[in-house]
Amino acid sequence: MHPSFSVIFFTASSGAGYGLLALLGVLVPLGIVPQDTLFAVVALGLALGAITAGLVSSTFHLGHPERAMRAFSQWRSSWLSREGVASVATYVPAGLFAIAWVFFGGVSAVLGALVTLGAIVTVVCTAMIYRSLKPIQRWHNSWVMPNYLALALMTGALWLAWLLRLFGAGIASVDWLAILAIVLAAALKLGYWRFIDTTSSASTAESATGLGALGKVRLFEAPHTSENYLLKEMGFQIARKHAAKLRRIAFLLAFALPFLLSLVPLLAGGWPATLAALIAAPLATLGVLVERWLFFAEAKHAVTLYYGTARA
């Protein structure tokens, strides 16, 4: 599948934003993170800023961005529409949460829970857009949603640790949360990669043409001499050549380095701890961008079966 940068940025940025928002929804009512106004403004600004930037970016790949409002109408059947509705609906408790925290210095557990729920539901909807597409076996499997949720949690936790260090208020439990989230997300990503490497779609060139009874089906002559929309959008191949290398880069940036950097504050205090935490979150976000690029580039679409691939 063609990796459209606006969609990659959207899922990575809003994923981190919703992860951070979900954690704030739980940790603020519990009084675990600093309660002062400046921290509240910066933390919510970062979370809602990342979410909003992602949502706006997602409209850039549309043929008619000015009609984007229409995408809220079909929530009964469409996960894309549900994602739109959930993302906008989450602004309501998030806005009340922000008012309560910034102006009244405290948030009720119920409001916090609503914010967390909204964030989780939105990420679930994002994952389901891909999970529900049967023609793409590498998306239509049960690894996809846990991966999206774990990566949102991981980047959210790392950015929370980043914020806390920025305010000189590092909390060991948040550092531990980030480490656990990294381990969880790395395990799920490795599981996903193993799954897509060892399985393939039930569809073949034979089932696509229905000619299997006559023997093996090979493309003899393509219908057109230059690339069409289908091949550009669904037959994207450039990245697969470098897939192994890119996986190592993604693993290093998203998981290995942030893991090691997150251990530093637990072992040493002072400036090394601050420096390590400040580097970890941006590195992990960069790693998730590479991971998301691979998620698209490595996905094969069933329509390619008509264009000479044997299995999708």
Separation CA 217–CA 205 (nearest Å): 6
Nearer CB in complex with another protein: 65/106: 65
Query: 163 with 42: CB under 8 angstroms?
Result: yes
Question: One-letter amino acid identity for 151?
Answer: L
Separation CA 204–CA 187 (nearest Å): 30
Query: 195 with 164: CB under 8 angstroms?
Result: no
Nearer CB in complex with another protein: 85/174: 85
Nearer CB in complex with another protein: 173/226: 226
Nearer CB in complex with another protein: 76/245: 76
Nearer CB in complex with another protein: 83/291: 83
Q: Which two tokens stand for residue 205?
A: 């060139």
Question: Smallest distance from the beta carbon of 210 to another protein, in angstroms?
Answer: 5
Query: 284 with 230: CB under 8 angstroms?
Result: no
Question: Smallest distance from the beta carbon of 2 to another protein, in angstroms?
Answer: 9
Question: Smallest distance from the beta carbon of 79 to another protein, in angstroms?
Answer: 7
Separation CA 52–CA 91 (nearest Å): 10
Nearer CB in complex with another protein: 43/136: 136
Question: Smallest distance from the beta carbon of 3 to another protein, in angstroms?
Answer: 13
Question: Smallest distance from the beta carbon of 212 to another protein, in angstroms?
Answer: 9
Q: Which two tokens stand for residue 151?
A: 């990566």
Separation CA 268–CA 260 (nearest Å): 12
Site residues (CB under 8 A) for another protein?
Answer: 1, 61-65, 67-68, 70-74, 76-81, 84, 129, 132-136, 202-203, 205, 207-211, 213-224, 226-230, 232-234, 301-303, 306-307
| β-strand partners of 311 | 204
Question: Smallest distance from the beta carbon of 177 to another protein, in angstroms?
Answer: 34
Q: How many CA atoms lie within 13 A of 112 on its CB side?
A: 15
**Neighbouring residues of 218: CB distance < 8 A, sequence distance ≥ 6:** 205, 308
Nearer CB in complex with another protein: 6/52: 6
Query: 278 with 160: CB under 8 angstroms?
Result: no
Nearer CB in complex with another protein: 45/65: 65
Q: How many CB atoms lie within 10 A of CB 140?
A: 15
Question: Smallest distance from the beta carbon of 221 to another protein, in angstroms?
Answer: 4
Question: Smallest distance from the beta carbon of 74 to another protein, in angstroms?
Answer: 5
Q: Which two tokens stand for residue 233?
A: 């959008």
Query: 265 with 175: CB under 8 angstroms?
Result: yes
